[in-house]
Amino acid sequence: MNFPPPRPNDGFHEPSIDPARLDANWRAISVELDAPRPSWIERGLRRLGLPATVTRPALATPSLRRAWYVAIALVVIIGLVAADPDDARASAFTLLFLAPIVPLLGVALAFGPDADPAHEAHLATPTQGVRLVLLRATTVLAISFVVIGGLALLTDVTRPLAAAWMLPSIGLTAASTAVMTATSPRRAVGLVGTAWVIVALIGRGAGDDRLGAFGPAAQAGFVAVAVVGVIITYVRREQLDVLRGVDR
């Protein structure tokens, strides 16, 4: 289609546009169109109303997503191990014993130079290490709760027992973040995990009830461990804010 050339007296004028502003606007449009989309997990959480300041630090790095995947895989394995239709008490013990270890492993994969290659660059940002540690620990705990909780309700575990692993999970996670202020995340998780295995096995052998380690008194103990763990983590938070173990 051919248009006639514009006549000089059409009344059209070259609009006065600030090139810098035009450039900035074009860039903003281009960024919105061309920026890669976040992962499906992050998009889902954003739709639920969580801000990027929570979802990005919690999920953006592959090491964190790996922590999620490991947690989910372990949950499935635990479900298979725990399901013993002939012995409901044995199933319950296996579930309650193994479930608190899941978030612990997730925490080990979620913070520190071993888990995150950009750890040193993160430390130099205004977001404090303690905030990242607690945010990621909470994320791993939350996903573990949803998946293991669902699993426990589906198996032949009685309803009150189905929740009996939650306080141990919170207690162990808080204990590991507290120990993390003194040593590397992986070593901290190793120490706390070992302590848990010993305590749970002693608890199982000590009384007539193999689930004694998850009774009301023990649950109160895990609340105390969680509170003390969070307090120690907060008081010693500066240790999570600097490089440790460097010698150059």
The contact set with other proteins (CB under 8 A) reads 27-28, 30-32, 34-36, 38, 51-53, 56-57, 60-63, 116-118, 120-128, 132, 238, 241-243, 246-248
Residue placing its CB nearer to other proteins in the complex, 10 or 34: 34
Query: Least CB distance from residue 102 to other proteins, whole Å?
Result: 22
Question: Any idea what the Cα angle at residue 228 is, between residues 133 and 226, rounded to 5°?
Answer: 65
Query: Least CB distance from residue 229 to other proteins, whole Å?
Result: 20
> Mapping DSSP to helix (H, G, I), strand (E, B) and coil, where does residue 13 land?
coil
Between CA 93 and CA 69 the distance in angstroms is 24
Query: Least CB distance from residue 133 to other proteins, whole Å?
Result: 13
Q: Print burial letters for 38-67: b (CB count within 10 Å at least 16), e (below 16).
A: beeebeebeeeeeeeeebebbbebebbbeb
The number of residues making up the chain comes to 248
Residue placing its CB nearer to other proteins in the complex, 52 or 223: 52
Residue placing its CB nearer to other proteins in the complex, 219 or 239: 239
Residue placing its CB nearer to other proteins in the complex, 52 or 220: 52
The closest alpha carbon to 165, from 133, 206, 200, 207, belongs to 200
